[in-house]
Structure 1
């Protein structure tokens, strides 16, 4: 069995090995490829955490959310500044509908629904941040 080795400089070398060794090398390559694929989608391992230090440091960037009546009033106020279409589409999106499903429900194009939701989201966040 011939095994190919490709180097970073672009050269390729073939080495003749026995079938048993070739099978081990191929299995090893498959396992390595599978591991690379898992890391592409799950790039952070809980096994690698120290459970102390910078990974669990304080983050002052975001204020602590409170579920008070004042916070609810701020959210309602910011939401009321959106157009009726943006409100309706954001509600559907928040309830788990996809952009394509919303477009089908409203008989609108995917692009217009996407732009409307994105504009509504930006406007909502801008107003919410301005509200004291």
Structure 2
């Protein structure tokens, strides 16, 4: 599976978790869709304002399950996005190095800050 496909799959999974949480809290707690969505995102992102809290037993149990499942999906999504970004940066760096290496092979002038080669040791010959 390509990196891009993994990222898309994880974002779709994250969207599914947010949608599922929103629908769950709308039906179980009786909140309007905006409040249910707000609580879902605030809980999933671990911000936890505390303005809206579940009051039913099913809502409280559902919230704990949602936290474990949703936070796992959220963390993996962020981690995979970071890994994808890092891989793209490494590929770009390798591409730059490869192209700069070709320039160097065309006998272009060396950089002014290139390392100097050490001088060979001097052997003193004794005077006879």
TM range (shorter): under 0.3
Larger RCO: 1 or 2 (CA < 8 Å, sep 6+) = 2
Q: Tell me the TM-score normalized by structure 2.
A: 0.27
User: Which is higher, the Rg of structure 1 or of structure 2?
Assistant: 2
Q: Tell me the TM-score normalized by structure 1.
A: 0.26
